[in-house]
Amino acid sequence: MTAADVRTERGTHREQREHVAALHSYLTRYQLVTWTSGNVSERVPGEDLFVIKGSGVEYDELTWEGITVCDLDGNAVDGVKRPSSDTDAHAYVYRNLPEVNGQVHTHSPYATAWAARAEEIPCVLTAMADEFGGPIPVGPFALIGDDSIGRGIVETLSVSRSPAVLMRNHGVFTIGPSAKAAVKAAVMTEDVARTVHFSRQLGEPLLIDQDDVDKLYARYQNVYGQ
In the complex, what is the shortest distance from the CB of residue 89 to Zn ion, in angstroms, rounded to a whole number? 9
199: amino acid identity, one letter: S
Q: How far apart are CA 147 and CA 226, in angstroms?
A: 29
Return d(Cα 52, Cα 88) in angstroms, integer: 11
Residue 122 neighbours by CB distance under 10 Å: 19
Pick the closer one to Zn ion by CB: 104 or 216. 104
User: How many C-beta atoms lie closer than 10 Å to residue 4's C-beta?
Assistant: 9
Query: In terms of CB distance, is 112 or 160 closer to Zn ion?
Result: 112
Shortest approach of Zn ion to residue 77 CB, angstroms? Answer: 23
Instruction: Name which of 41, 49, 36, 99 is nearest 75 in CA terms.
Output: 49
Query: Measured between alpha carbons, how far is 148 from 89 in angstroms, rounded to an integer?
Result: 8
Helices (H) and strands (E) in the chain, counts: 7, 8
**Please, which residue, 14 or 151, has the CB nearer to Zn ion?**
151
The minimum distance between CB 75 and Zn ion, in angstroms, equals: 20
Burial bucket for residue 118 (CB in 10 Å: 0-12, 13-18, 19+): middle
164-167 and 171-176 strand pairing: antiparallel
For Zn ion, the binding residues (CB under 5 A) are 171
* Catalytic (active-site) positions: 130, 224
CB of 46 to Zn ion, least distance (A): 29
Closest CB to Zn ion among residues 3, 143: 143
